[in-house]
Copies of this chain bind each other. A is one copy, B any other.
Amino acid sequence: MGKSTVISMAVVRRLPRYRRYLSELLENGVDRISSKELSERMNLTASQIRQDFNCFGDFGQQGYGYNVKELYNEIARIIGLNKSYNTVVVGAGNIGQAIANYSSFGKLGFNLVAIFDVNPKLIGLKFRDIDIRDVDDLDSYLDENKIDIGIICVPKAQAQRTADIFQDKGIKAIWNFAPIDLKVQEGVVIENVHLSDSLLTLSYRLNEAELFGTEEK
């Protein structure tokens, strides 16, 4: 107990970034790093970094900095990388195939165990050794297999129905690539990758100076 469970999403979103930077430091043979050095690399303030880590416990020693390997392991544990996860992708289109192709997710412990699609030409084929199954069999597959994370790569019209099946079958985490904000039950976490929103944010920012009739940012 003791610690509050409410970690702000801003802090949460920095955790994977910390992991990335620490992983690079490890690859480069760096054993130890100060919050100041880490802050310069990450474009954060040192006090921000110390505050973030303090949400989760006591890391580092005054005047010594952080032991990179220990800190990496601790952050990885906090993120949940000490476990492994079974995942399924629904929708074997562009983005579904791209996700299925990411071997780095497997290395992190996210094991893609099945892909589902509606297209009869794809059903029954394998994609990198993973069966492409009929989406009509998703319910029964989830009855028989323990899946931790459901990945939605279907068009937006089918996305809520897919999310509903996931939730009905006890999946507690949904990674959604459909361009829609899905309704999920209490206790189910959802993370969206809205590609077109991201592109339009870029477009806005490209035009911002012009919009306000000044070059200033």
Which A residues between 159 and 217 are near B, CB-CB below 8 angstroms? 172-175, 179-181, 186-187, 189-191, 193-209, 211-217
Contact between chains at B80 and A203 (CB < 8 Å): yes
User: Which chain B positions have C-beta within 8 A of A95?
Assistant: 98
- Pick from B1, B173, B201: contact of A206, CB below 8 A: B173
**Pairwise interchain contact B80-A204, C-beta atoms closer than 8 A:** yes
- Chain B hits for A195, CB < 8 A: 99, 102, 193
**Copies of this chain present:** 2
A198 to chain B, nearest CB (A): 5
Give the docked Cα–Cα distance between A101 and B93 (Å): 9
Q: A200 near B43 (CB under 8 angstroms)?
A: no
Q: Which residue of B lies closest to A186 (CB)?
A: B217
On whether A209 and B5 interact (CB within 8 A), knowing A85-B203, A201-B15, the answer reads yes
Residues of chain A whose beta carbon lies under 8 Å from any beta carbon of chain B? 1, 3-7, 12-13, 15-17, 19-20, 42-43, 78-81, 83, 85, 93-95, 97-99, 101-102, 104-105, 108, 110, 148-149, 172-175, 179-181, 186-187, 189-191, 193-209, 211-217
